[in-house]
Structure 1
Amino acid sequence: MSAAFDAAAVAQFFVQARAHRAKLDGLPEGARPANADQAYAVQDATLRAMQANVAGWKVGAKSPDGPIQGAPLPAEGVHGSGARLAMHAFGRAGLELEVAFRIGRRFEPGGGPYRDEEVLDAVESVHAAIEIVVSRFAAWPDVEKPWQLADLQNHGALIVGEGVPYDAAFPFVSPSMTFTLDGAALFHGEPANPAGDPRRLLAWTVNHSVARGLPVERGTVITAGSYTGLAIPDAPGVAVGVIEGLPVVELHFA
């Protein structure tokens, strides 16, 4: 008989890996999330074990009508533009340029379901954001998808630029942008979010959060998927994300 799934045990592996900047070779039997529900249980247990407040969410989908997945972001990993972070603290890390939304009201646990219009009405501002994507697994990206989801969806840190008021006319599907590291381009081609219009992810995120018993506090940032794909720098530098119509976001990766 296989061992019962133990979300708290998985969370301890992740918390210890974070604390010691270590990489996991795998997970033992009974600590291997096999589906999204088990992965979300691990996320919750990880937040409890870290005694972390939630300052944001990362959310995405692989296609414009595909299923959505997300992860809460610990407050300690959400930074303002100009943040200086040590590259060696993350190990092998990728950078993505994204559009993020700041929520201007509180959504209570157990509330909803909220309609798209209600959540859009609550968007206070829109921001350019750089996500640092990392994994606690040595074999990443060749890691089981539920394991990656359990690992806060490969989240390392989020750097959020200054915001502008929400404007429905902003070209969310394909904004004009550049993303560079010390002036060298980190992506080529036309920017595109695989989820299509990222606004379709917002109501899902709010409803998913409150259904899990996690309030969406005023000021929560929802970052809604990469437009540039994953760039893995091989040296430190200054990453600059420029999205037309939004303030510049900058990361000093030392």
Structure 2
Amino acid sequence: MNKPAELTISLVVYKPLMKQLSETLQSLALSLSQVDVSYHIYVIDNTPESEFSAVNEKYLSTFFSHNDVSYIRKEQNVGFGKAHNFTVGLKSTFHLVLNPDLTMDKDAIEKSIQYLLNNKKCGLLTPYVTWSDGKVQRLCKNYPSVFILLLRGFAPKIIRRLFKAKLNKYEMVDEINDHTVFINPPMVSGCFMFFRTEVWNKCGGFDSRYFLYFEDFDLSIRVKEISQIAYVPEVKIIHHGGFAARKGIKHIILFFKSMMLFFNTHQWKWF
């Protein structure tokens, strides 16, 4: 690249698994070292101040210089999207919304920046993602129905197999592959959302009414109203999180609250 780009990164944590978070920060540091870019990282800690958090300035300084990272501790858990929205209004060329439970290829940042530099109509890039076991995690999705979301999130495998064709259609299995760029999928999930910052700012970040879940679907629908979204499989990520149903009743309640808000905001589709 002829000219260094400016990149801001927001990463929200809440009682994180420290081994997993350390791996995320290590892979981020390595990927940033491969590209000529000025950057600043904002780590927003949603762990309530009344509870212990192992994340602090000293911990972060083992990965990044003091001038390149800011640590913000919230008094209480304000929600995933609302915490990321701390970075709305920042002046940079690109902005990365990053989960604390992933690792990226060392060239992921470089390839993301290069794609957006070469494709001015694109405002949001989504990568090729696999789970820890190597299975593909399909971030690009068709608009969901209530039935599909319940089936995918909570039904046993034997039931899901009966509706494999419907699930494959929802996850765009026949349209998305590991080698072809896909422009404007209907929605994208967001463990790694690489924005042109002007688009992030114009959308106002996430809708803060979503405490957790569906804020990425909602935002990607709004992004498409003003710019392109591109699935770029050259950018490769391993994601270790997900699976609301396995995280206990609190997460299941949050999932249903956000699902209702999503359909009320956009359009209800039952089947």
Under a length normalisation based on structure 1, what TM-score does the superposition of the two structures give?
0.25
- If each structure's strand is expressed as a fraction of its own residues, which one has the higher value? 1
Which structure shows the higher helix fraction?
2
TM-score (norm 2): 0.24
